[in-house]
Amino acid sequence: MTAIRPTVKSVAVFCASSMGNQPELADLARRLGEQLADQNITTIFGGSDSGLMGVVADAALSRGGRVIGVYPKNTFSRDVRHQGSIELQMVSSMHERKSVMFELADAAVALPGGLGTLDEVVELLLWTQLGIHQLPLVLLDVNNFWNKFVDFLDEAISSELLNGDCHKNLRRVTDPATVTEVLEQLVTSHQ
């Protein structure tokens, strides 16, 4: 019997550059980074050493994973580049950061985050709707963080302001151990 070769070899991870006030967020980020490394999947992230971003990268590195940081130079008031053994790609803007992350990734995962995370998720879904790419996206959820966002999408669809296909590449899960399996299902269902 021939083993099926995984199609997801790299995952863009969108998450907060802060830790938030819920301890389970850091645990979720750590478990995701470990899971990606254990599955030999390259972690692509925003290049920061702070917050949940730093936790994901450090966890992947601790398991020997490949980590690529995409960092916008001259954007932040202080330099928060990750100082670990990552492959760092410097870009000129936040927009270019997203574009490079989308280009490098076979799929994406979004943990709870703020405006930057929301911006990345919405642009990824928009680019899928426009046919620029077909990246599958998993919303890694804790404490129903993503409920209102998914409710918004559902309301926009029911109001016929958004195409119902926006859900075709989107899933919500609560366990990092299931992320790669769900991403593989999404990728293979659209081939």
Per-residue pLDDT of the chain (191 residues; tens, 9 = 90+): 344 456 899 999 999 988 888 889 999 999 999 999 999 999 999 988 889 999 999 999 999 999 999 988 876 555 566 677 789 899 998 899 999 999 999 999 999 999 999 999 999 999 888 888 889 999 999 999 999 999 999 999 999 988 877 778 899 999 999 999 999 888 887 66
What's the number of domains the chain is made of?
Answer: 1
- Position 79 scores a pLDDT of 56
pLDDT of residue 152: 94
Judging by beta carbons within 10 Å of its beta carbon (0-12, 13-18, 19+), is residue 38 exposed, middle or buried?
A: middle
Q: In this structure, is residue 4 part of a structural domain?
A: no
pLDDT given at position 35: 96
Note the pLDDT of residue 104.
96
Residue 141 domain flag: yes
Instruction: For residue 115, tell me if it sits in a domain.
Output: yes
Residue 108 lies in a domain: yes
pLDDT confidence of residue 187: 84
pTM (2 d.p.)? 0.91
113 in a domain, yes or no? yes
Say if 5 falls within a structural domain: no
CB 101 within 8 A of CB 11: no
Please indicate, yes or no, if residue 118 is contained in any of the structural domains.
yes
How big, in percent rounded to 5, are the helix, strand and coil portions of the chain?
A: 45, 20, 40
Q: What angle, 0 to 180 degrees and rounded to 10, lies between the N-to-C axes of helices 179-189 and 23-38?
A: 60
**2 part of a folded domain:** no
Residue range(s) defining the domain that contains residue 62: 10-189
Residue 45's pLDDT is what?
93
Instruction: Determine the Cα angle at 35 with ends 79 and 185, to 5°.
Output: 115
CATH (domain of 127): 3.40.50.450
pLDDT at 76: 58
pLDDT, residue 3, reads 45
- Whether 144 and 37 have beta carbons less than 8 Å apart is answered as no
Res 7: pLDDT = 86
Question: For tokens 């702070």, what's the residue?
Answer: 50
Compute the distance between CA of residue 107 and CA of residue 183 in angstroms, rounded to an integer.
7
